[in-house]
Amino acid sequence: MSEVSIAKRKEKCENCTKQCNKKQSDDGTNSKQEKEEVNGQVNEGSQLLLSACLSCDGCLSEEDNLKISQQSLEEVERILALNKKCDVSKHKVLVASVCPQSLPFFAVKFGLDITEAAHKLCSFLKRLGVQYVFDTTLAAGFSILESQKEFIQRYRRRNHDSHALPMFTSSCPGWIRYSERVLGSLVTPHICTARSPQQIMGCLVKDYFSKQQKLSPEKVYHVVVAPCFDKKLEAVREEFYSSLLETRDVDCVLTSGEIYYLMEQRKVSVEELDSVPLDQVLGEAGDAALVRHDGRGSEGFLEHVFKHAAKELFGLDVQEITYKTLRNRDFQEVTLERDGETLLQFAAVYGFRNIQTLVHRIRKGRVPYQLVEVLSCPGGCLSGRGQAESETGGRVDKALVQQMEEAYSSLPVRLPEVNLTLHTLYQDWLQGQDSLQANKLLHTQYRNQSQIHTQPPHMQW
């Protein structure tokens, strides 16, 4: 980098730090003056959101900024405009995949139950020019099953592989970005290699679905509707781009809030929208019921892996999981015991403050857990800043989040193990659960980038 670029980066980072400190002071987040020792530093109980920090442009390269600029409503509208012109060679088939954590947002905003809200959202997207609308629960099922399998493998090699445990979940891009750029080799070997639901959905659309439609992948434009801005950063990762086909698994991520803004901008009322069922990847006729996975609104990786490991490793059937709150409701643990012996100990760690506590314990070698579900947003995915921020900005709308949690919990739970569509796709698309194709399309690797993107000395993480 040139000296000018370095100076600009330093200025931006310093300003970012000042603004974050000012914001925390304004929000009164240091009222209790709670002090923690983190990475050898005394931290005044910082409430800085990891997602808010890593998604700002203060530490992004010019290349990052260019990629992120393509993740916008304007870009989607450009694609739609091209489709309306006569040049058929530039036409693309638009496919939208909606995260299940986004649906409660629309249910609350529309004043409808989740199923009807999903149908109205589908109607709006198809009115725009989207041909197919899916939800990503199926892809999340793949991610959960692959995470379960990997945990069992890691547990069984724990005695001769120091990197096997603890295993950290990999579905949160804010956490992944922080791990790669800041924590490096301390954490990256421990991250589960299963792709996130978003990126498995990208493979499903660009590889399987495009073939079923007899389309080349670059002719499909895939949009994901997500609750979180960090999902935009995940979509532009190098490993999710095919240089041969010149296409990404996910072409654009729009937050729930951006879609709702577009509806308001176009003055589209819910009442005027038809009720249009979501499409099914296998093309089944009829309206498949919307379902969710176990857990607290973030796909429930901890609960699924915990129950699977209890059965697979110890022959125990766990029906209900009891969370023990430690520091706060965003730092909880679950324990499996038999005859007074602790067999498994997992933790759910949400939000930057709790992540910092976790990192401090890792450095001290005091992490008793075999698996940690890590999410950068306090409260989990339903609280993603792409949908949970108050209209005045800056703060999370707690009333909205509570309503979304209630809406999400109303959906029936279905275990991915009993999802027949998943089993069909494992065979027809991936040639089996343990095939090379399954490993290639459902897994990825995480890199130590901390040497490349060195944090400025004044940035305390």
Domains and CATH numbers, the chain: 66-139+196-291+418-442 (3.40.50.1780), 142-195+294-385+407-416 (3.40.950.10)
- What is the rounded average pLDDT of the residues 351-375? 92
Which has more confidence, 456 or 249? 249
The answer for residues whose C-beta is within 8 angstroms of residue 164's C-beta and 6 or more apart is 154, 155, 157, 158
Give per-residue pLDDT as tens, 197-207. Answer: 999 999 999 99
Give per-residue pLDDT as tens, 288-333. Answer: 678 888 777 777 899 999 999 999 999 999 988 999 998 788 999 9
pLDDT score for 249: 93
What is the DSSP secondary-structure string of 89-158? GG--EEEEEE-TTTHHHHHHHHTS-HHHHHHHHHHHHHHHT--EEEETHHHHHHHHHHHHHHHHHHHHTT
Are the C-beta atoms of 313 and 162 separated by less than 8 Å?
no
- Single pTM value for the model: 0.85
pLDDT score for 61: 64
Q: Is the pLDDT of residue 23 over 60?
A: no
Give per-residue pLDDT as tens, 365-420. Answer: 889 999 999 999 888 899 888 998 877 666 888 999 999 999 999 988 889 999 99
Which has more confidence, 249 or 8? 249
Name the token pair of 179. 């791990």
pLDDT score for 333: 94
Are the C-beta atoms of 141 and 105 separated by less than 8 Å?
no
pLDDT score for 54: 47
Q: Is the pLDDT of residue 214 over 90?
A: yes
pLDDT score for 390: 77
Are the C-beta atoms of 192 and 167 separated by less than 8 Å?
yes
Give per-residue pLDDT as tens, 160-197. Answer: 998 999 999 999 999 998 999 888 999 999 999 999 99
99: amino acid identity, one letter: C
Q: Is the pLDDT of residue 31 over 70?
A: no
> What's CA 9's distance to the chain center, in Å?
28
Residue 295 region, left (φ>0) first, then alpha (ψ -120 to 50), else beta?
left
Are the C-beta atoms of 252 and 221 separated by less than 8 Å?
yes
